[in-house]
Amino acid sequence: MQRRTFIKKSLLGTIGAGLMTGLYTWQIEPFWVDFVKRKMPIHNLPEQLVGKTLMQISDIHVGNRFDYNFIIKSFQKAQTFAPDFVVYTGDYVNYENKQQFEQLEIVLQHTVKGKLGTVGILGNHDYGRNWAEQKVANKISKLLKNATIQLLKNQQTNISGLNFIGFDDYWALNFAPEKVMTQYDATKANIVLCHNPDVCDLNVWNGYKGWILAGHTHGGQCKPPFLQPPMLPVKNKKYSAGEIDLQDGRKLYINRALGHLWQIRFNVRPEITIFTLEKA
pLDDT tens profile 235-264: 999 999 999 999 999 999 999 999 999 999
Helices 134-146, 99-108: axis angle to 10 degrees equals 20
Can you give the pTM of this predicted structure?
0.94
Note the pLDDT of residue 21: 72
* Nearby residues of 224 by Cβ (< 8 Å), 6 or more positions away: 230, 267
**Rounded average pLDDT over 66-76:** 98
Residue 183 has a CB neighbour count (10 Å cut-off) of 11
Please check whether the domain covering 32-279 is classified as CATH 3.60.21. Answer: yes
Torsion region of 200: left, alpha or beta (phi above 0 gives left; psi -120 to 50 gives alpha): alpha
Whether residue 1 is predicted with pLDDT greater than 60 in this model: the reply is no
> What's residue 131's pLDDT?
98
Average pLDDT over residues 104-125: 98
Q: 12 or 128: whose pLDDT is higher?
A: 128
Please, which pLDDT band fits residue 2 given cuts at 50, 70 and 90?
A: low
Q: How many secondary structure helices (H) and strands (E) does the chain include?
A: 5, 12
Sketch the domain layout of the chain as residue ranges. Answer: 32-279
